Structure 1
Amino acid sequence: MSEKPVPEPRPALLSGIVRRARAHPRAFAATAAAAALVVLGGGGLLAGAFVGTPNVETVARVSAPPSATPTVTSTPTPTPEARSVPAAVTPAQPVRTCSIAEAASDSRLGTFSGSVRNATTGEILYDHGGGTYSRTASVMKVLTSAAALAVLGPDYRASTTVVAGTQPGQVVLVGGGDITLASGSSNIYPGAASMLDLAAQVTASLGGTPVTSIVLDSSAFAGDAWQPSWNRKELFDGWSSEVTALQVDGDRADPSSSQSTRSEDPIGRAGAAFASALGATGAPISQGVAPAGAATLGTVQSAPVSTMVQDALLRSDNTEAEMLARLTAIAQGSGNTFSALGASTPAALATYGLDTAGLVIVDGSGLSDDNGVSPNFLTALFAKIAAREGNLGIIADGLPVAGESGTLGGRFTGSNSDAAGHVIAKTGWIDTGYTLSGIIQAADGSVLTFAFFALDDVSDSSKQALDTITAAAYRCGNNLSNQ
């Protein structure tokens, strides 16, 4: 529809106005003036409507008498409000799509918890109960090793010494905590000192004086020799000895075997080995303490801590780990009993800048169900191991390699074999749990650290389930989703 035209002015109306103006010029002029006032007034009102309430200056001018000078009051310029500064924009996060949820749901994992971290960025990629503090089994040896490297240093060696006793021909064998001391020329421990060497030094120092008696001093360690929460069958099954400052071969019946029955008198076994090496099997043997200031007749030293750490990790040697934990506590001044470890190990780990709040440490080997370490803590520790901070590269070089060495030598087979050679980790096993924690050189080139716990209702098949979820994380790499 078209718009309507605007009507033009009517000629008759205009001509009428002109005739009236000519006939009454004065009246028309007055009317026009009045109309102008009205128009001007209306414009002022209209302007007021647009401006709003008249300001002080306008009111003064209108109300002042003609002869008065208007009062002018200025209106202050309002200060503009400061604009709020927007918060920093959060960088976009990558959308990760690779899941290990199916592997984590395997019933063989029992009560499962786990954590995976990007070792380079520190970002936690996967967290399933990662903040839960639980028993670690032998993964505890990684904490013990890191603590020993921080406090003792990689070059520290434990000494076993013989001093003169209080009677002629009496010798005192003083244990310095070296459980690796070989009863013969060698044993399972690399670089172990030999009791034969020690006996030869003593014989030379005595200058032909026969040995009349032997005193055994194991006072460097005190308190319980067996942690109260440990299952005693570990001793008889050959997995661990009592923790004493004096013993030989880790108290193994077979010095060349990693798993070998242990005795209930490791100190006495060490005394018998010493007597045999001296050729003094008929000399009486007793336990006591070396006299102060006694002359040294001989001394031997263990392999350095760097060697013992790697051996303890590779074979998961419980006795060797307990030795390292106890020597660390003594060097710190925390004490020489099991109870000292609760303070000494966390204090040593804190020197790496780790948050140790919440850690519960009751032993050095991980045999106890009473230990408490979270998967998130382990991934943080392993990130520092992967970065080789301080002396932690020694741990990285000593860990078992999947499918190749140590306690991982026969694992990561079949469908998990693609991860073999790309996972270095510490295994753990006690009756109530299986664990695995370490470093993954992932398929996409990223470096991950991980900790997986399978606890409670578990069996030997749990190891394969742990391998499967670890291999899945290897395939995901930095694309691992927390779903």
Structure 2
Amino acid sequence: MLIASAAVAYALVLGGAGWAGAATASTAELKRAPAASVVTSTPTPTPTVEVRAVPAAAPGPSRLRTCSVAGPASDGRLQQFQAQVVNASTGEVLYDRGGGTASRTASVLKVLTSAAALSVLGPDYRMSTRVVRGTEPGQVVLVGGGDVTLSRTPSGDESTYSGAPHLDELARQVRAAWDADPATAGTPITSVVTDASYFSGDAWEPSWNRKELYDGYMPQITALMVDGDRENPYRSTSPRGEDPVGRAGWAFADALGGGPSVVSGTAPAGAAVLGQVYSQPVSTLVQQTLIVSDNTIAEGLARVTAIEAGAGSSFSSLQQGITSGLSAYGLDTSQLRIADGSGLSGNNAVPPSYLTSLFVKVMNKEANLWPLYDGLPISGQTGSLSYSDRFSGDSSRADGAVHAKTGWIDDGYTLSGIIYAADGTPLTFAIYALGDVSDSAKQAIDALTAAFWDCGNNLSNL
């Protein structure tokens, strides 16, 4: 039996091998074979296979974050509350309350003005104030170039703007050039013409409250002024005047000596330059405006940025000028509404989400943004975040960890910047407290910011 079975199996194998050999013969070999030897057969139908869509892999479970800030976020002092917090390392939005809605920013807008200036002008750009020869004998023209820090204090005597250029140095240059020219040597300078034509349009933004002038927070914005048009050049907050160009002209006439008259006008084209002084570089001006929220520098930077961006020289040019500068950072500017450079106007509008995105770039010091980072106040340590009413009491646990720009107008308090959280996570954030707010909104904002610091990457959106 075993022998017979083996024989049958062997025959089957040989038969299968022979069929396989015939099936694999080349086409040429089939053509050479006699017709009678070609075996035809009905092909076996190919079975129909139903192809079903393979479901996409299910996404991995989101991290369950458990650190809630519901308590401080519900503080009534925040009024109309908006906020967003982003993990700056991953870009993940951890917390959002109206983050995509554009609203007034108060002085946080200075962050956008500074970023645009650093993009358009660059950190090394300096504004100049020139004196040129006039059209009449004994006449010189003082030409403003947008430097609001130019000082009437004596050289070596610092005004509120450290490192600012001084009128007495400009006067010294002019007298030296005047006396060195045989055509004017020995003759007096009898007339000073003030030229502020570098800026155009209104000197006062229509939506600003006029009390800001008299309370000492904002001057009329002109291309020629001294000490931000302060009555007291040594104080950051000091009443401003009704004629900043005239104040600068008379201060320069005093520095020249000899009692020249002062009139307004424009410089003749191609006039010889008799003297010139320069502002601090934009990198320094940005830090000076951010650290104490200086409105005057912010407006000067905004206007010069718009001019150099080709947008124009008036308030109405700032929308195009500032957004043009910001476009270099690759963020969507379509929701931005820019009425001024300082944030004093309630007509400005910026979504918190724009700020959290921009601050990621600031934190990483991309492009020319390093002066902006370096100029931010630090909680409990520098600038407007070191005042006695900021990050005080229990909120002081976040001292040194918050680098942010403050904001305040009559109907809003804001804070936006970077938090180095307790767990080491870098966060970017923006908080708006808008509406019928009081000064105590600052403490509510600080308490919420400190809670963000506590939570870090475990911050819950609930």
Q: Supply the distance in 1 between the matched residues of 2:48 and 2:173 (Cα, whole angstroms).
A: 94
Whether 1:476 aligns to 2:455 is yes
Q: Supply the distance in 2 between the matched residues of 1:244 and 1:79 (Cα, whole angstroms).
A: 83
Q: Supply the distance in 2 between the matched residues of 1:280 and 1:265 (Cα, whole angstroms).
A: 23
TM-fit CA distance, 1:91: 3.4
TM-fit CA distance, 1:236: 0.5
Q: Supply the distance in 2 between the matched residues of 1:161 and 1:432 (Cα, whole angstroms).
A: 41
- CA-to-aligned-CA distance 1:372-394 (integer Å, 9 cap, x gap): 00111111111111111111121
Whether 1:263 aligns to 2:241 is yes
**Matching residue of 1:392:** 369
The 3-state SS of whatever aligns with 2:274 is: strand
The aligned amino acid for 1:227 is: E
Equivalent of 2:72 in 82, 103, 111: 103
TM-fit CA distance, 1:183: 0.8
Once the two structures are superposed, the pairs formed by residues 26-37 of structure 1 within 5 Å of their partners are none
**Matching residue of 1:55:** none
The aligned amino acid for 1:198 is: L
Whether 1:445 aligns to 2:424 is yes
TM-fit CA distance, 1:75: 5.5
TM-fit CA distance, 1:84: 2.2
Greater mean deviation of Cα atoms: 224-233 or 178-187:
178-187
Q: Give the length in aligned residue pairs.
A: 412
TM-fit CA distance, 1:251: 0.3
Whether 1:205 aligns to 2:177 is yes
Once the two structures are superposed, the pairs formed by residues 187-202 of structure 1 within 5 Å of their partners are 187-202=159-174
Once the two structures are superposed, the pairs formed by residues 152-191 of structure 1 within 5 Å of their partners are 152-185=121-154, 186-191=158-163
Q: Supply the distance in 2 between the matched residues of 1:280 and 1:142 (Cα, whole angstroms).
A: 44
Once the two structures are superposed, the pairs formed by residues 423-462 of structure 1 within 5 Å of their partners are 423-462=402-441
**Matching residue of 1:121:** 90
The 3-state SS of whatever aligns with 2:355 is: helix
The aligned amino acid for 1:200 is: R
TM-score by length of 2: 0.87
- CA-to-aligned-CA distance 1:423-454 (integer Å, 9 cap, x gap): 01100001011001110010000000110000
2:152 and 2:251 in contact (8 A); partners too: yes
The aligned amino acid for 1:449 is: T
Q: Supply the distance in 1 between the matched residues of 2:434 and 2:106 (Cα, whole angstroms).
A: 10
Q: Supply the distance in 2 between the matched residues of 1:336 and 1:440 (Cα, whole angstroms).
A: 36
Q: Supply the distance in 2 between the matched residues of 1:347 and 1:173 (Cα, whole angstroms).
A: 31
Whether 1:279 aligns to 2:251 is no
Once the two structures are superposed, the pairs formed by residues 239-258 of structure 1 within 5 Å of their partners are 239-258=217-236
Whether 1:331 aligns to 2:308 is yes
The 3-state SS of whatever aligns with 1:351 is: helix
The aligned amino acid for 1:105 is: S
Max Rg structure: 1
The 3-state SS of whatever aligns with 2:329 is: coil
The aligned amino acid for 1:385 is: V
Equivalent of 2:267 in 283, 290, 293: 290
Whether 1:94 aligns to 2:63 is yes
**Matching residue of 1:37:** none
Once the two structures are superposed, the pairs formed by residues 57-76 of structure 1 within 5 Å of their partners are 74=43, 76=45
**Matching residue of 1:311:** 288
Whether 1:225 aligns to 2:203 is yes
**Matching residue of 2:33:** none
**Matching residue of 2:14:** none
Q: Supply the distance in 1 between the matched residues of 2:60 and 2:196 (Cα, whole angstroms).
A: 60
Q: Supply the distance in 1 between the matched residues of 2:400 and 2:135 (Cα, whole angstroms).
A: 58
1:190 and 1:307 in contact (8 A); partners too: no
- CA-to-aligned-CA distance 1:275-329 (integer Å, 9 cap, x gap): 0100133x22111110011000000000000000000000100010000011111
TM-fit CA distance, 1:274: 0.3
1:402 and 1:420 in contact (8 A); partners too: yes
2:309 and 2:324 in contact (8 A); partners too: no
TM-fit CA distance, 1:80: 2.2
1:223 and 1:338 in contact (8 A); partners too: yes
The aligned amino acid for 2:82 is: S
**Matching residue of 2:21:** none
Q: Supply the distance in 1 between the matched residues of 2:233 and 2:225 (Cα, whole angstroms).
A: 12
The structure 1 segments of at least 4 consecutive aligned residues displaced by more than 4 Å after TM superposition are 71-75
Q: Supply the distance in 2 between the matched residues of 1:380 and 1:156 (Cα, whole angstroms).
A: 26
Equivalent of 1:359 in 323, 331, 336: 336
TM-fit CA distance, 1:102: 1.0
2:401 and 2:421 in contact (8 A); partners too: yes
Q: Supply the distance in 2 between the matched residues of 1:93 and 1:170 (Cα, whole angstroms).
A: 74
TM-fit CA distance, 1:198: 0.1
**Matching residue of 2:355:** 378
The 3-state SS of whatever aligns with 2:391 is: coil
The aligned amino acid for 1:261 is: P
The aligned amino acid for 2:168 is: L
The aligned amino acid for 2:395 is: N
**Matching residue of 1:141:** 110
The 3-state SS of whatever aligns with 1:482 is: coil
2:148 and 2:223 in contact (8 A); partners too: yes
TM-score by length of 1: 0.84
Q: Supply the distance in 2 between the matched residues of 1:209 and 1:469 (Cα, whole angstroms).
A: 67
1:216 and 1:271 in contact (8 A); partners too: yes
Once the two structures are superposed, the pairs formed by residues 15-34 of structure 1 within 5 Å of their partners are none
Q: Supply the distance in 2 between the matched residues of 1:280 and 1:229 (Cα, whole angstroms).
A: 42
The aligned amino acid for 1:140 is: L
2:253 and 2:261 in contact (8 A); partners too: no
The aligned amino acid for 1:144 is: T
**Matching residue of 1:80:** 49
The aligned amino acid for 1:202 is: V
Q: Supply the distance in 1 between the matched residues of 2:305 and 2:58 (Cα, whole angstroms).
A: 47
Q: Supply the distance in 1 between the matched residues of 2:176 and 2:459 (Cα, whole angstroms).
A: 65
The aligned amino acid for 2:115 is: A
Q: Supply the distance in 1 between the matched residues of 2:91 and 2:321 (Cα, whole angstroms).
A: 26
The aligned amino acid for 2:162 is: P
Structure 1 vs Structure 2: percent identity of aligned residues?
61
